[in-house]
Amino acid sequence: AQTVTQSQPEMSVQEAETVTLSCTYDTSESDYYLFWYKQPPSRQMILVIRQEAYKQQNATENRFSVNFQKAAKSFSLKISDSQLGDAAMYFCAYRRGNSGNTPLVFGKGTRLSVIA
């Protein structure tokens, strides 16, 4: 079974600084997708960024980027110019890619605090 590990239960960052959240996963599949979701105190899960395993180029969405190391099975999230609104729980998630209906497998989450 696939597993997703987030080794940092809590992280903090100063406003305007950069922070990296770690995620590793275990799979024997070659076709899969990786996601980072954000859950602010309002509770709604929001998609931050996604990465297709077959793409070598790291995904970027504005201040959010990933470092995808397929051989190492690592998928870290970098948040640049951190803002107070970035404070949230962040979940890394994996989905097998060879079917359109497979569910996500989530890590246990990292709680990010942003210090003004």
Partner 1 sequence: DVKVTQSSRYLVKRTGEKVFLECVQDMDHENMFWYRQDPGLGLRLIYFSYDVKMKEKGDIPEGYSVSREKKERFSLILESASTNQTSMYLCASSLWGQGRSQPQHFGDGTRLSIL
For partner 1, the binding residues (CB under 8 A) are 6, 9, 31, 33, 35, 37, 42-45, 47, 50-52, 91, 95, 97-101, 103-109
Residue with smaller CB distance to partner 1, 9 or 85: 9
Q: Is 115 exposed, middle or buried (0-12, 13-18, 19+ CB in 10 A)?
A: exposed
Minimum CB separation of residue 116 from partner 1 in Å reads: 25
Comparing CB distances to partner 1, the nearer of 62 and 101 is 101
CA dist 27 to 63, 81, 100, Å? Answer: 28, 32, 18
Q: Which lies closer to partner 1 via its Cβ, residue 62 or residue 116?
A: 62
Q: Which amino acid type is present at position 89?
A: M
